[in-house]
Structure 1
Amino acid sequence: MKNRWMLCGVALLLFLAIYAKPAFADFPRQKLISSKFFNESQMIIVEANGWDTKYAKLSTYEKIDGVWQKALSDMPATIGYNGFAQVMKEGGGASPTGIYNIGTGFGWAAKPAGTTYSYRVTTSYDYWVDDVSSPDYNKWIYFTGNPSSRWKSFERMNHPLYKYGAVIKYNENPIVAGKGSAIFLHVWKSSTSATAGCVAVSEANMKNILGWMNSKKKPLIVMGPTAKIDGYLYARSEKLNEVDILVNGVKHEFDQPPVLIDGRTLAPFRGIGELLGATVEWDATNETVHAELNGTTVELKYLSNIVKINGKSITLDTAPIIINNRLVVPVRFFAEAFDAEVKWDGSKNMVFINK
Protein backbone atom coordinates (compact mmCIF):
# COMPACT_ATOMS: atom_id res chain seq x y z
CA MET A 1 0.00 0.00 0.00
CA LYS A 2 2.81 2.38 0.90
CA ASN A 3 4.49 1.79 -2.47
CA ARG A 4 1.20 2.37 -4.24
CA TRP A 5 0.78 5.78 -2.59
CA MET A 6 4.36 6.66 -3.48
CA LEU A 7 3.73 5.78 -7.12
CA CYS A 8 0.55 7.87 -7.12
CA GLY A 9 2.49 10.80 -5.68
CA VAL A 10 5.19 10.53 -8.36
CA ALA A 11 2.53 10.35 -11.07
CA LEU A 12 0.83 13.47 -9.71
CA LEU A 13 4.09 15.38 -9.68
CA LEU A 14 4.81 14.38 -13.27
CA PHE A 15 1.32 15.45 -14.33
CA LEU A 16 1.73 18.85 -12.70
CA ALA A 17 5.17 19.32 -14.22
CA ILE A 18 3.85 18.66 -17.70
CA TYR A 19 0.48 20.41 -17.63
CA ALA A 20 0.75 23.18 -15.07
CA LYS A 21 0.98 26.80 -16.22
CA PRO A 22 4.55 28.11 -16.24
CA ALA A 23 5.70 29.34 -12.84
CA PHE A 24 6.19 33.08 -13.03
CA ALA A 25 9.48 32.83 -11.13
CA ASP A 26 10.81 30.72 -13.99
CA PHE A 27 9.26 32.89 -16.68
CA PRO A 28 11.10 36.25 -16.66
CA ARG A 29 8.94 39.30 -17.20
CA GLN A 30 10.50 40.17 -20.55
CA LYS A 31 9.52 36.74 -21.90
CA LEU A 32 6.06 36.98 -20.38
CA ILE A 33 5.40 40.36 -22.02
CA SER A 34 6.78 39.13 -25.35
CA SER A 35 4.47 36.11 -25.34
CA LYS A 36 1.29 38.07 -24.57
CA PHE A 37 1.56 41.61 -25.98
CA PHE A 38 1.77 41.90 -29.76
CA ASN A 39 -0.20 45.02 -30.72
CA GLU A 40 1.59 47.48 -28.42
CA SER A 41 5.22 48.52 -28.12
CA GLN A 42 5.38 50.48 -24.84
CA MET A 43 4.38 49.52 -21.31
CA ILE A 44 4.53 51.08 -17.86
CA ILE A 45 4.35 48.79 -14.82
CA VAL A 46 3.45 50.26 -11.43
CA GLU A 47 3.85 47.75 -8.63
CA ALA A 48 3.82 47.86 -4.85
CA ASN A 49 4.89 45.51 -2.08
CA GLY A 50 1.34 44.55 -1.11
CA TRP A 51 -2.16 46.03 -1.27
CA ASP A 52 -2.07 48.60 1.53
CA THR A 53 1.05 50.68 0.91
CA LYS A 54 1.21 54.08 -0.75
CA TYR A 55 4.73 53.45 -2.08
CA ALA A 56 5.30 51.90 -5.49
CA LYS A 57 7.90 51.36 -8.19
CA LEU A 58 7.37 52.44 -11.80
CA SER A 59 9.16 50.55 -14.59
CA THR A 60 9.06 51.11 -18.33
CA TYR A 61 9.37 48.61 -21.17
CA GLU A 62 9.59 49.11 -24.91
CA LYS A 63 9.61 46.80 -27.92
CA ILE A 64 12.48 47.69 -30.25
CA ASP A 65 13.09 45.66 -33.42
CA GLY A 66 10.75 42.98 -32.11
CA VAL A 67 12.38 42.66 -28.69
CA TRP A 68 10.82 43.92 -25.44
CA GLN A 69 13.40 45.51 -23.13
CA LYS A 70 13.66 47.86 -20.20
CA ALA A 71 13.50 51.52 -21.26
CA LEU A 72 13.94 54.29 -18.67
CA SER A 73 15.50 53.68 -15.28
CA ASP A 74 13.07 52.45 -12.64
CA MET A 75 11.62 55.27 -10.56
CA PRO A 76 9.81 55.65 -7.23
CA ALA A 77 6.10 56.41 -7.33
CA THR A 78 3.21 56.92 -4.95
CA ILE A 79 -0.34 55.64 -5.27
CA GLY A 80 -3.61 56.03 -3.36
CA TYR A 81 -3.53 56.57 0.40
CA ASN A 82 -5.37 53.26 0.74
CA GLY A 83 -2.96 51.49 -1.61
CA PHE A 84 -4.34 49.34 -4.40
CA ALA A 85 -8.05 48.58 -4.41
CA GLN A 86 -9.39 45.05 -4.53
CA VAL A 87 -12.78 46.63 -5.28
CA MET A 88 -12.75 50.14 -6.71
CA LYS A 89 -15.28 52.74 -5.64
CA GLU A 90 -15.62 56.50 -5.98
CA GLY A 91 -13.79 58.35 -3.23
CA GLY A 92 -12.18 55.17 -1.90
CA GLY A 93 -8.68 56.63 -1.86
CA ALA A 94 -7.19 53.60 -3.61
CA SER A 95 -5.67 53.02 -7.03
CA PRO A 96 -7.12 50.54 -9.55
CA THR A 97 -5.39 47.33 -10.56
CA GLY A 98 -5.15 45.73 -13.98
CA ILE A 99 -4.08 46.77 -17.49
CA TYR A 100 -5.19 50.06 -19.06
CA ASN A 101 -4.44 52.16 -22.10
CA ILE A 102 -2.75 55.50 -21.51
CA GLY A 103 -4.61 58.46 -22.93
CA THR A 104 -3.50 61.97 -23.79
CA GLY A 105 -0.79 63.80 -21.94
CA PHE A 106 -1.85 67.07 -20.32
CA GLY A 107 -0.78 69.85 -18.02
CA TRP A 108 -1.22 73.52 -17.22
CA ALA A 109 2.42 74.00 -18.22
CA ALA A 110 3.50 74.06 -21.85
CA LYS A 111 4.29 70.77 -23.55
CA PRO A 112 7.80 69.73 -22.49
CA ALA A 113 10.48 70.30 -25.11
CA GLY A 114 11.15 67.25 -27.25
CA THR A 115 7.83 65.59 -26.39
CA THR A 116 6.00 64.11 -29.39
CA TYR A 117 3.26 62.39 -27.37
CA SER A 118 -0.22 63.90 -27.65
CA TYR A 119 -0.53 66.71 -25.08
CA ARG A 120 -3.30 69.10 -24.11
CA VAL A 121 -2.67 72.32 -22.21
CA THR A 122 -5.34 72.74 -19.54
CA THR A 123 -7.15 75.94 -18.61
CA SER A 124 -9.38 77.16 -15.81
CA TYR A 125 -12.34 75.89 -17.86
CA ASP A 126 -11.19 72.26 -17.93
CA TYR A 127 -12.80 69.87 -15.44
CA TRP A 128 -12.86 66.13 -14.76
CA VAL A 129 -16.25 65.19 -13.39
CA ASP A 130 -16.54 62.80 -10.42
CA ASP A 131 -20.21 63.48 -9.69
CA VAL A 132 -21.70 59.95 -9.82
CA SER A 133 -25.18 61.34 -10.56
CA SER A 134 -24.06 63.27 -13.65
CA PRO A 135 -24.06 61.98 -17.23
CA ASP A 136 -20.61 63.61 -17.41
CA TYR A 137 -19.21 61.22 -14.78
CA ASN A 138 -15.57 60.28 -15.40
CA LYS A 139 -15.30 62.61 -18.38
CA TRP A 140 -13.10 65.58 -19.21
CA ILE A 141 -15.41 68.53 -19.82
CA TYR A 142 -14.60 72.04 -21.04
CA PHE A 143 -17.12 74.40 -19.43
CA THR A 144 -17.06 78.19 -19.15
CA GLY A 145 -19.96 78.47 -16.70
CA ASN A 146 -20.13 77.95 -12.94
CA PRO A 147 -19.12 74.29 -12.38
CA SER A 148 -20.89 74.10 -9.01
CA SER A 149 -24.20 74.77 -10.71
CA ARG A 150 -23.68 71.81 -13.05
CA TRP A 151 -21.94 69.18 -10.91
CA LYS A 152 -21.87 68.17 -7.27
CA SER A 153 -18.24 67.15 -7.51
CA PHE A 154 -15.42 67.79 -9.98
CA GLU A 155 -11.67 68.22 -10.32
CA ARG A 156 -9.99 71.23 -11.85
CA MET A 157 -7.56 70.13 -14.50
CA ASN A 158 -5.28 73.08 -13.72
CA HIS A 159 -4.63 71.70 -10.22
CA PRO A 160 -1.06 72.47 -9.04
CA LEU A 161 -0.10 68.77 -9.18
CA TYR A 162 -1.35 68.54 -12.76
CA LYS A 163 1.52 70.60 -14.11
CA TYR A 164 2.32 67.52 -16.18
CA GLY A 165 0.33 64.34 -16.44
CA ALA A 166 -1.30 61.68 -18.58
CA VAL A 167 -4.75 60.12 -18.49
CA ILE A 168 -5.03 56.51 -17.36
CA LYS A 169 -8.03 55.21 -19.29
CA TYR A 170 -9.73 53.54 -16.34
CA ASN A 171 -13.51 52.93 -16.18
CA GLU A 172 -14.14 54.16 -19.71
CA ASN A 173 -15.75 51.42 -21.78
CA PRO A 174 -18.34 51.41 -20.42
CA ILE A 175 -18.27 54.08 -17.73
CA VAL A 176 -19.80 52.66 -14.55
CA ALA A 177 -21.08 55.27 -12.10
CA GLY A 178 -19.39 54.96 -8.72
CA LYS A 179 -16.59 52.65 -9.88
CA GLY A 180 -13.98 55.41 -9.72
CA SER A 181 -12.94 58.37 -11.82
CA ALA A 182 -10.15 60.80 -12.68
CA ILE A 183 -7.25 58.32 -12.57
CA PHE A 184 -4.09 59.97 -13.85
CA LEU A 185 -0.32 59.65 -13.88
CA HIS A 186 0.90 63.03 -12.62
CA VAL A 187 3.45 64.98 -10.58
CA TRP A 188 3.64 64.13 -6.90
CA LYS A 189 3.46 66.55 -3.99
CA SER A 190 6.42 64.80 -2.40
CA SER A 191 8.01 61.36 -2.34
CA THR A 192 6.03 60.54 0.82
CA SER A 193 2.67 62.00 -0.22
CA ALA A 194 -0.04 59.57 -1.29
CA THR A 195 -2.62 60.36 -3.94
CA ALA A 196 -6.40 59.97 -3.92
CA GLY A 197 -6.08 57.08 -6.39
CA CYS A 198 -3.74 58.27 -9.12
CA VAL A 199 -0.10 57.33 -9.70
CA ALA A 200 2.39 60.11 -8.99
CA VAL A 201 6.10 60.57 -9.71
CA SER A 202 8.56 63.43 -9.47
CA GLU A 203 8.21 66.31 -11.91
CA ALA A 204 11.47 65.39 -13.63
CA ASN A 205 10.37 61.79 -14.05
CA MET A 206 6.93 62.82 -15.31
CA LYS A 207 8.58 64.92 -18.00
CA ASN A 208 10.86 62.01 -18.90
CA ILE A 209 7.85 59.69 -19.25
CA LEU A 210 6.03 62.16 -21.51
CA GLY A 211 9.16 62.53 -23.61
CA TRP A 212 9.54 58.75 -23.88
CA MET A 213 5.95 57.82 -24.73
CA ASN A 214 4.97 57.49 -28.38
CA SER A 215 1.30 57.46 -29.40
CA LYS A 216 2.08 55.14 -32.32
CA LYS A 217 3.42 52.57 -29.85
CA LYS A 218 0.07 52.43 -27.99
CA PRO A 219 1.44 52.66 -24.44
CA LEU A 220 -0.22 50.62 -21.69
CA ILE A 221 -0.01 50.82 -17.92
CA VAL A 222 -0.17 47.75 -15.66
CA MET A 223 -0.94 48.39 -11.99
CA GLY A 224 -1.09 46.24 -8.88
CA PRO A 225 0.80 44.47 -6.09
CA THR A 226 4.00 42.84 -7.30
CA ALA A 227 2.60 39.40 -6.49
CA LYS A 228 -0.29 40.02 -8.92
CA ILE A 229 1.43 41.77 -11.85
CA ASP A 230 2.65 38.67 -13.68
CA GLY A 231 -0.80 37.14 -13.33
CA TYR A 232 -2.34 40.17 -15.04
CA LEU A 233 0.24 39.88 -17.83
CA TYR A 234 -0.27 36.13 -18.23
CA ALA A 235 -4.05 36.53 -18.52
CA ARG A 236 -3.73 38.90 -21.48
CA SER A 237 -5.34 37.66 -24.70
CA GLU A 238 -4.97 39.72 -27.87
CA LYS A 239 -6.52 39.24 -31.28
CA LEU A 240 -3.86 38.61 -33.88
CA ASN A 241 -3.89 39.26 -37.62
CA GLU A 242 -3.62 35.76 -39.09
CA VAL A 243 -1.92 35.22 -42.45
CA ASP A 244 -2.13 32.46 -45.07
CA ILE A 245 1.07 30.96 -46.50
CA LEU A 246 1.31 29.24 -49.87
CA VAL A 247 4.45 27.27 -50.65
CA ASN A 248 4.87 26.45 -54.33
CA GLY A 249 1.21 27.27 -54.86
CA VAL A 250 -0.11 25.07 -52.04
CA LYS A 251 -1.73 26.54 -48.94
CA HIS A 252 -0.47 25.02 -45.72
CA GLU A 253 -1.96 24.83 -42.24
CA PHE A 254 0.15 25.21 -39.09
CA ASP A 255 -0.55 24.26 -35.46
CA GLN A 256 -0.11 27.96 -34.70
CA PRO A 257 -1.43 30.10 -37.58
CA PRO A 258 1.10 32.50 -39.10
CA VAL A 259 0.51 36.08 -37.94
CA LEU A 260 1.36 39.62 -38.98
CA ILE A 261 3.02 41.63 -36.19
CA ASP A 262 4.59 45.05 -36.73
CA GLY A 263 4.43 44.52 -40.48
CA ARG A 264 6.31 41.21 -40.37
CA THR A 265 4.92 37.70 -40.92
CA LEU A 266 5.89 35.14 -38.27
CA ALA A 267 5.25 31.38 -38.53
CA PRO A 268 6.18 28.26 -36.51
CA PHE A 269 9.86 27.55 -37.16
CA ARG A 270 9.55 23.81 -37.60
CA GLY A 271 6.56 23.97 -39.93
CA ILE A 272 8.00 26.61 -42.24
CA GLY A 273 11.49 25.10 -42.15
CA GLU A 274 10.37 21.60 -43.10
CA LEU A 275 8.16 22.97 -45.91
CA LEU A 276 11.29 24.53 -47.35
CA GLY A 277 13.03 21.16 -47.12
CA ALA A 278 15.38 22.16 -44.30
CA THR A 279 16.50 20.02 -41.39
CA VAL A 280 15.37 21.89 -38.27
CA GLU A 281 16.47 21.43 -34.66
CA TRP A 282 15.56 23.22 -31.43
CA ASP A 283 18.23 23.71 -28.76
CA ALA A 284 16.13 24.18 -25.61
CA THR A 285 19.14 24.91 -23.42
CA ASN A 286 20.22 27.90 -25.49
CA GLU A 287 16.73 28.67 -26.84
CA THR A 288 18.07 28.55 -30.38
CA VAL A 289 16.76 27.24 -33.70
CA HIS A 290 19.23 25.57 -36.06
CA ALA A 291 18.24 24.91 -39.67
CA GLU A 292 20.29 23.48 -42.53
CA LEU A 293 19.61 23.02 -46.23
CA ASN A 294 22.05 22.29 -49.06
CA GLY A 295 25.05 23.52 -47.09
CA THR A 296 23.40 26.68 -45.77
CA THR A 297 22.97 26.91 -42.00
CA VAL A 298 20.69 29.38 -40.26
CA GLU A 299 20.59 30.10 -36.53
CA LEU A 300 17.93 32.16 -34.74
CA LYS A 301 17.72 32.75 -31.00
CA TYR A 302 14.51 33.32 -29.07
CA LEU A 303 13.96 37.05 -28.37
CA SER A 304 17.06 38.10 -30.29
CA ASN A 305 17.06 40.03 -33.55
CA ILE A 306 20.64 38.93 -34.26
CA VAL A 307 20.67 35.87 -36.52
CA LYS A 308 23.40 33.92 -38.24
CA ILE A 309 23.75 32.58 -41.78
CA ASN A 310 26.73 30.28 -42.12
CA GLY A 311 28.13 31.82 -38.95
CA LYS A 312 27.81 35.43 -40.12
CA SER A 313 25.70 37.66 -37.85
CA ILE A 314 22.89 39.75 -39.30
CA THR A 315 20.59 42.15 -37.43
CA LEU A 316 16.86 42.00 -38.24
CA ASP A 317 14.04 44.39 -37.36
CA THR A 318 12.11 41.62 -35.62
CA ALA A 319 12.83 38.54 -33.51
CA PRO A 320 11.53 35.02 -32.85
CA ILE A 321 8.86 35.01 -30.15
CA ILE A 322 6.52 32.50 -28.54
CA ILE A 323 2.78 32.52 -29.30
CA ASN A 324 0.56 29.88 -27.68
CA ASN A 325 3.63 27.85 -26.69
CA ARG A 326 4.96 27.81 -30.26
CA LEU A 327 8.15 29.54 -31.33
CA VAL A 328 7.50 31.62 -34.44
CA VAL A 329 10.17 33.10 -36.70
CA PRO A 330 10.25 35.82 -39.40
CA VAL A 331 9.11 34.07 -42.57
CA ARG A 332 10.76 36.28 -45.19
CA PHE A 333 14.19 36.06 -43.61
CA PHE A 334 13.92 32.33 -42.98
CA ALA A 335 12.78 31.53 -46.52
CA GLU A 336 15.14 33.88 -48.35
CA ALA A 337 18.07 32.52 -46.35
CA PHE A 338 17.46 29.26 -48.20
CA ASP A 339 17.15 31.00 -51.59
CA ALA A 340 13.35 30.90 -51.75
CA GLU A 341 11.38 33.70 -53.40
CA VAL A 342 8.93 35.47 -51.09
CA LYS A 343 6.06 37.76 -52.12
CA TRP A 344 3.44 39.48 -49.96
CA ASP A 345 -0.12 40.20 -51.12
CA GLY A 346 -1.65 42.64 -48.66
CA SER A 347 -5.04 42.55 -50.39
CA LYS A 348 -5.31 38.82 -49.61
CA ASN A 349 -3.29 38.79 -46.39
CA MET A 350 -1.19 36.09 -47.98
CA VAL A 351 2.48 35.14 -48.32
CA PHE A 352 3.65 33.32 -51.45
CA ILE A 353 6.85 31.27 -51.21
CA ASN A 354 8.38 29.62 -54.22
CA LYS A 355 11.39 27.35 -54.11
Structure 2
Amino acid sequence: MRRPKPIVVRRAPGRPTEARVQLANGVRRAALGRGGIKALKREGDGGTPIGCLPVRLVLYRADRVRRPRSALPLRAIRIGDGWCDDPVDRNYNRPIRRPYRHSTETMMREDALYDVVLVLGHNDRPRVRRRGSAIFVHLARPGYTPTEGCIAFSFGDLLAVVAQLRAGSGFLVMP
Protein backbone atom coordinates (compact mmCIF):
# COMPACT_ATOMS: atom_id res chain seq x y z
CA MET A 1 0.00 0.00 0.00
CA ARG A 2 1.36 3.44 -0.95
CA ARG A 3 1.93 5.99 1.76
CA PRO A 4 -0.48 8.92 1.36
CA LYS A 5 0.90 12.28 0.23
CA PRO A 6 1.49 14.60 3.17
CA ILE A 7 -0.73 17.61 3.73
CA VAL A 8 1.57 20.52 2.87
CA VAL A 9 1.59 23.53 5.20
CA ARG A 10 3.32 26.69 3.93
CA ARG A 11 3.56 30.09 5.57
CA ALA A 12 1.26 32.64 3.96
CA PRO A 13 3.21 35.40 2.17
CA GLY A 14 3.86 38.28 4.55
CA ARG A 15 2.03 36.56 7.43
CA PRO A 16 4.38 34.59 9.68
CA THR A 17 1.59 33.21 11.89
CA GLU A 18 -0.75 32.14 9.10
CA ALA A 19 -0.51 29.29 6.61
CA ARG A 20 -1.95 28.09 3.34
CA VAL A 21 -2.60 24.35 3.44
CA GLN A 22 -3.06 22.18 0.37
CA LEU A 23 -5.91 19.72 0.89
CA ALA A 24 -7.41 17.28 -1.62
CA ASN A 25 -10.26 19.73 -2.25
CA GLY A 26 -8.26 22.98 -2.45
CA VAL A 27 -6.12 25.38 -0.47
CA ARG A 28 -7.29 26.33 3.02
CA ARG A 29 -6.31 28.97 5.56
CA ALA A 30 -4.81 27.96 8.92
CA ALA A 31 -3.31 29.66 11.95
CA LEU A 32 0.23 28.85 13.05
CA GLY A 33 2.17 29.43 16.24
CA ARG A 34 2.84 32.94 17.54
CA GLY A 35 6.56 32.27 16.97
CA GLY A 36 6.04 31.38 13.29
CA ILE A 37 7.57 28.29 11.72
CA LYS A 38 10.71 27.09 13.54
CA ALA A 39 13.50 24.80 12.38
CA LEU A 40 14.57 24.22 16.00
CA LYS A 41 11.47 23.96 18.18
CA ARG A 42 11.80 24.66 21.92
CA GLU A 43 9.21 24.29 24.68
CA GLY A 44 7.29 27.54 25.11
CA ASP A 45 8.68 29.36 22.03
CA GLY A 46 5.27 29.42 20.32
CA GLY A 47 6.77 28.01 17.13
CA THR A 48 5.23 25.54 14.72
CA PRO A 49 7.96 22.97 13.99
CA ILE A 50 9.28 22.39 10.46
CA GLY A 51 9.17 18.78 9.31
CA CYS A 52 6.93 15.87 8.47
CA LEU A 53 4.60 15.36 11.42
CA PRO A 54 2.59 12.12 11.30
CA VAL A 55 -0.98 12.08 12.60
CA ARG A 56 -1.04 9.73 15.59
CA LEU A 57 -4.67 10.00 16.76
CA VAL A 58 -7.93 11.90 16.32
CA LEU A 59 -9.63 13.14 19.50
CA TYR A 60 -13.06 14.74 19.75
CA ARG A 61 -15.54 16.10 22.29
CA ALA A 62 -18.46 13.64 22.13
CA ASP A 63 -20.53 16.02 24.27
CA ARG A 64 -20.19 18.78 21.62
CA VAL A 65 -19.61 17.24 18.18
CA ARG A 66 -20.48 14.09 16.31
CA ARG A 67 -17.84 11.43 15.95
CA PRO A 68 -15.81 12.55 12.89
CA ARG A 69 -15.51 10.28 9.87
CA SER A 70 -11.93 9.08 9.72
CA ALA A 71 -9.85 6.07 8.73
CA LEU A 72 -7.55 6.81 11.67
CA PRO A 73 -8.00 5.80 15.30
CA LEU A 74 -10.55 8.01 17.09
CA ARG A 75 -11.08 8.55 20.79
CA ALA A 76 -13.50 10.73 22.70
CA ILE A 77 -11.93 13.25 25.07
CA ARG A 78 -12.91 12.55 28.68
CA ILE A 79 -13.06 14.67 31.80
CA GLY A 80 -9.60 14.57 33.34
CA ASP A 81 -7.72 14.10 30.05
CA GLY A 82 -4.59 16.20 29.83
CA TRP A 83 -1.22 16.43 28.09
CA CYS A 84 1.99 16.88 30.08
CA ASP A 85 4.03 19.88 28.91
CA ASP A 86 6.53 19.94 31.79
CA PRO A 87 9.98 19.07 30.40
CA VAL A 88 11.27 17.78 33.76
CA ASP A 89 8.44 15.24 34.19
CA ARG A 90 8.85 11.62 33.07
CA ASN A 91 5.52 11.91 31.19
CA TYR A 92 6.63 14.97 29.19
CA ASN A 93 4.77 15.17 25.87
CA ARG A 94 2.42 12.32 26.74
CA PRO A 95 -1.27 12.11 27.57
CA ILE A 96 -1.98 12.05 31.30
CA ARG A 97 -4.98 12.06 33.68
CA ARG A 98 -5.68 15.26 35.61
CA PRO A 99 -5.28 16.40 38.30
CA TYR A 100 -1.54 15.97 37.84
CA ARG A 101 1.38 17.24 39.88
CA HIS A 102 3.21 18.84 36.93
CA SER A 103 2.22 21.35 34.23
CA THR A 104 -0.40 20.05 31.79
CA GLU A 105 -2.59 21.11 28.91
CA THR A 106 -6.30 20.50 29.61
CA MET A 107 -7.92 18.58 26.76
CA MET A 108 -11.55 19.22 27.79
CA ARG A 109 -11.45 22.99 27.39
CA GLU A 110 -14.25 25.46 28.02
CA ASP A 111 -13.72 27.04 24.60
CA ALA A 112 -14.21 25.03 21.41
CA LEU A 113 -10.55 24.83 20.32
CA TYR A 114 -10.21 21.14 21.19
CA ASP A 115 -13.63 19.94 20.06
CA VAL A 116 -11.71 18.05 17.33
CA VAL A 117 -7.95 17.49 17.73
CA LEU A 118 -5.32 15.69 15.66
CA VAL A 119 -2.35 14.62 17.77
CA LEU A 120 0.80 15.09 15.68
CA GLY A 121 3.98 13.10 16.07
CA HIS A 122 6.44 15.78 17.16
CA ASN A 123 9.16 15.01 19.71
CA ASP A 124 7.45 11.80 20.73
CA ARG A 125 9.68 8.98 19.38
CA PRO A 126 12.07 9.61 21.09
CA ARG A 127 11.08 12.44 23.42
CA VAL A 128 13.76 15.05 24.07
CA ARG A 129 13.33 17.44 27.01
CA ARG A 130 12.48 21.01 26.04
CA ARG A 131 12.08 20.23 22.31
CA GLY A 132 8.35 20.97 22.37
CA SER A 133 5.19 19.17 23.35
CA ALA A 134 1.52 18.98 22.42
CA ILE A 135 1.72 19.92 18.74
CA PHE A 136 -1.87 19.48 17.65
CA VAL A 137 -4.14 20.38 14.77
CA HIS A 138 -7.23 21.96 16.29
CA LEU A 139 -9.92 24.57 15.75
CA ALA A 140 -8.93 28.17 15.06
CA ARG A 141 -9.90 31.14 17.17
CA PRO A 142 -11.91 33.91 15.49
CA GLY A 143 -9.67 35.84 13.11
CA TYR A 144 -7.18 32.95 12.97
CA THR A 145 -5.15 34.43 15.80
CA PRO A 146 -1.84 32.64 16.47
CA THR A 147 -1.63 29.39 18.42
CA GLU A 148 1.01 28.25 20.91
CA GLY A 149 2.66 26.22 18.12
CA CYS A 150 -0.21 24.17 16.75
CA ILE A 151 -1.95 24.34 13.36
CA ALA A 152 -5.55 25.56 13.54
CA PHE A 153 -8.41 25.41 11.00
CA SER A 154 -12.04 26.44 10.81
CA PHE A 155 -14.46 23.70 11.88
CA GLY A 156 -15.47 22.81 8.32
CA ASP A 157 -11.88 22.72 7.08
CA LEU A 158 -10.75 20.61 10.03
CA LEU A 159 -13.50 18.07 9.31
CA ALA A 160 -12.35 18.02 5.66
CA VAL A 161 -8.80 17.30 6.87
CA VAL A 162 -9.99 14.48 9.13
CA ALA A 163 -12.02 12.90 6.31
CA GLN A 164 -8.96 13.02 4.02
CA LEU A 165 -6.62 11.21 6.44
CA ARG A 166 -5.44 7.65 5.88
CA ALA A 167 -3.03 5.39 7.74
CA GLY A 168 0.38 7.00 7.43
CA SER A 169 -1.00 10.52 6.83
CA GLY A 170 0.96 13.49 8.07
CA PHE A 171 1.56 17.21 7.76
CA LEU A 172 4.63 18.52 5.97
CA VAL A 173 5.39 21.91 7.54
CA MET A 174 7.62 23.99 5.29
CA PRO A 175 9.19 27.42 5.80
Q: Please report the TM-score for the alignment, with normalisation by the length of structure 1.
A: 0.45
Cα pair 1:52 1:84 within 8 Å, conserved: no
- 1:155 and 2:111 correspond: no
* C-alpha separation in 2, matches of 1:196 and 1:172: 18
* CA RMSD, Structure 1 to Structure 2 (Å): 1.9
Deviation per CA, 1:13-56, whole angstroms, max 9, x where unpaired? xxxxxxxxxxxxxxxxxxxxxxxxx9512421111047971010
- 1:212 and 2:164 correspond: yes
* C-alpha separation in 2, matches of 1:138 and 1:72: 32
Of residues 96, 102, 111, the one that matches 2:67 is 111
Q: Which runs of 5+ in 1 are unaligned?
A: 1-37, 61-70, 226-355
Larger Rg: 1
SS in 1 for 2:163: helix
Please name the residue that 2:93 is paired with: 138
The amino acid that maps onto 1:56 is A
Q: Aligned-pair distance for 1:199?
A: 0.3
Cα pair 2:144 2:152 within 8 Å, conserved: no
Of residues 135, 139, 144, the one that matches 1:192 is 144
Q: Please report the TM-score for the alignment, with normalisation by the length of structure 2.
A: 0.89
Of residues 44, 50, 74, the one that matches 1:91 is 44
Aligned length: 170
* C-alpha separation in 1, matches of 2:118 and 2:72: 10
The amino acid that maps onto 1:220 is G
Q: 5 Å matches for 1:1-355? A: 39-49=2-12, 53-60=16-23, 71-109=24-62, 110-112=66-68, 114-141=69-96, 143=97, 146-147=99-100, 150-151=101-102, 153-159=103-109, 160=111, 161-215=113-167, 218-225=168-175
Cα pair 1:124 1:156 within 8 Å, conserved: no
* C-alpha separation in 1, matches of 2:117 and 2:14: 24
SS in 1 for 2:72: coil
SS in 2 for 1:74: strand
* Matched-pair identity in %: 26
User: What stretches of structure 1 move > 2 A for 4+ residues in a row?
Assistant: 49-52, 114-117
Q: Which runs of 5+ in 2 are unaligned?
A: none
SS in 2 for 1:115: coil
The amino acid that maps onto 1:117 is L
Question: 1:50 and 1:90, CA in 2 relative to 1: closer, same or farther beyond 3 A?
Answer: farther
